[in-house]
Amino acid sequence: MWKISRSVVVRALALATTLSLAPQSAAALPTDPGPNGKDLKVVQLPLRSDAPKTIDPGRGSTTYDNRACSMVYDTLLQYSYLKRDPFVLEPALLTKMPTPSEDGLTWSFELKPGVVFQDNECFPGGKGRELVSEDVFYSWKRQADDRTKAKSWWLYKDTIVGFDAFREEQNAAEKAGTGFNYDAPVAGMKVIDDHHFQVVLTEPVYRFIWLLAMFQTSVVPREAVEHYGTRFSRNPVGTGPYMLDEWTDLGMSFVRNPTYREEYFPTDLQDGDEEIVADLSKGKRLPIIDRVEYTFYKKDQPMWLRFEEGTLGYTQVPAENYETAFNRRTKKLNSSYKRRGIVSADVPLLDFIFRQFNMQDELLGGYTPEKIALRKAIILATDFDEFNSSFYNDKNIVYDGMIPPGLDGHPNNEEHRAGPEYRGKNIALAKEYLAKAGYPNGAGLPAINYYVANSANSPEQADLTMRQLGEIGIELNVRMMDFSSLIEACDNKKAQFFSFAWSSDYPDAENNLALFYGPNQSPGSNHANYENEEFDRLYEQTRSMQPSDERTEIYLRMRDMVLDHAAFAGSMARTRSYLIQPWLRNFKPTEQFYNWVKYLDVEESLRE
């Protein structure tokens, strides 16, 4: 039988009092015993956010959108769940890895036969049809349609032969009233038959293979988009392991997709996996969990308390609770948690935590010596070591540049420094630059609007930022808002100075350097709206280069160009600490990809 804990009942009553945003044909809790012949399994998980903005991969751009979309949708490739160092790609919707031509321009694909979209009212008789080659290209073309309001066109731009021209022509036709024609051909997208297709690239772009595992390239059915229209973002239909059941202001729940393709838990365990993988999970059909219930946590303490009472399967450890769980000196888990069977895991992130300037802002933007001096003053007054100590228990790596540790282009010295003037704290030099900018001791400088997402300990971090910049006479006007509103302000180029964290989409520095590529300006990923013709030329040159010493040298040049222009203050890379309940099995934490829920299992005897 499906066992319901008291806390689940309490939350269900709370959800019932909110406006339900469930899809029109919401999925019901499966009544069969699941694909592995066991009683129904339910797990409660945290989502440390105010909520995803969409479950439409065509529109999604954030980590939270990724987590939701990865429940419902599949990509052509996925990351191997257990292999982490290095990360390894493997087929998901494909029978095998795509094969490139000798010149790296033409890629051939073969879809797995028998993969079907989830049953939904958008299909005749409500029964999902088989996935075919046209679905892949239709999904990608949605990124080119201005009506989709896609945030990730930069992934495709200048990549596939004829795709940019298709985008321009079809959007012009839509504006002229003749309509956006999804059936119009793209020279570099060739359907051979229902299960075979080819993609022709403009150049042998190195990152192309990584894009095929990004949630923005997930495959959606045309019927669902056309049936639901503007409601599609809350009525997702994919081929993925789960279906959306309910979405409210407090959380979202998903139920197992009974028509999910045949896929099994991996048997190639890595060193240390035996400790976390349940013996009975090896070779099990996926997904294992029948129902997944996410709760949104804008603040960390409710999440921490729910974990402590045993409700949540895992928690990320908030900074203020670190010493409750760990010995600060040894970084080892305290014995009280070990006695409860709780285990811990540290996850180094491909992370870029920074404060960004809008380079088109009248006060902070521009490339004159005075404008650069103002930004450098702010950078040199910012003490990231104090942030690391105060909010991250000294577990972060503080570094120069935008390229995280472990990737080519990162400053690989003991202090992770690229130059002496790229990082504070240096109050004396900061004051010199402030005077060069025309604001000695801050005189005459208007208050700077600082945009921050109101989550976790962001208010306290904003207070520290105000104090640090106040040391040189700079006043901040802090604008605290939910994450969705922050993204909107940045997309519309309204945010003057703002705090961000970027997790690399794939393990190559090109992804981070793309944040400063001119054509990617807001609403693309270049929220700094940085413009530099030489940087853009070098970026375009490296796109088709394989990893090499030559490419690394170019990465270093590009990194230092942005540092010299002082387009951001940074950086830090987090090591995230997780605590995991003894009853949650198979959880190997990662923040590089988010389709890992399908691998999870629970042991009810341990939970009870």
Domain formed by 1-72+240-347+579-608, architecture: 3-Layer(aba) Sandwich (3.40)
329, pLDDT greater than 90: no
Per-residue pLDDT at 269: 86
298, pLDDT greater than 60: yes
Q: pLDDT, tens digit, for every residue of 252-283? A: 999 999 999 999 999 888 888 888 888 778 88
Looking at the domain 351-573, which fold is it? Dipeptide-binding Protein; domain 3 (3.10.105)
Residues with Cβ within 8 Å of 84's Cβ and at least 6 positions away in sequence, in order, are 270, 588, 590
State the SS3 of 573-599: ECEEEEEECCCEECCCCCCCCCCHHHH
Angular region, 155: left φ>0, alpha ψ -120 to 50, beta rest: alpha
Q: Are strands 601-602 and 497-503 parallel, antiparallel or unpaired?
A: unpaired
Does the CA dihedral 337-338-342-343 come out positive or negative? Answer: positive
d(CA 219, CA 182): 15
d(CA 288, CA 38): 9
Q: Where are the domains positioned within the chain?
A: 1-72+240-347+579-608, 75-114+132-218, 351-573
d(CA 314, CA 45): 7
In CATH, which superfamily holds the domain spanning 75-114+132-218? Answer: Dipeptide-binding Protein; Domain 1 (3.90.76.10)
* Proportion of the chain above pLDDT 70, given as a percent: 93
12, pLDDT greater than 60: no
Q: pLDDT, tens digit, for every residue of 433-468? A: 999 999 999 999 999 999 998 877 888 999 999 999
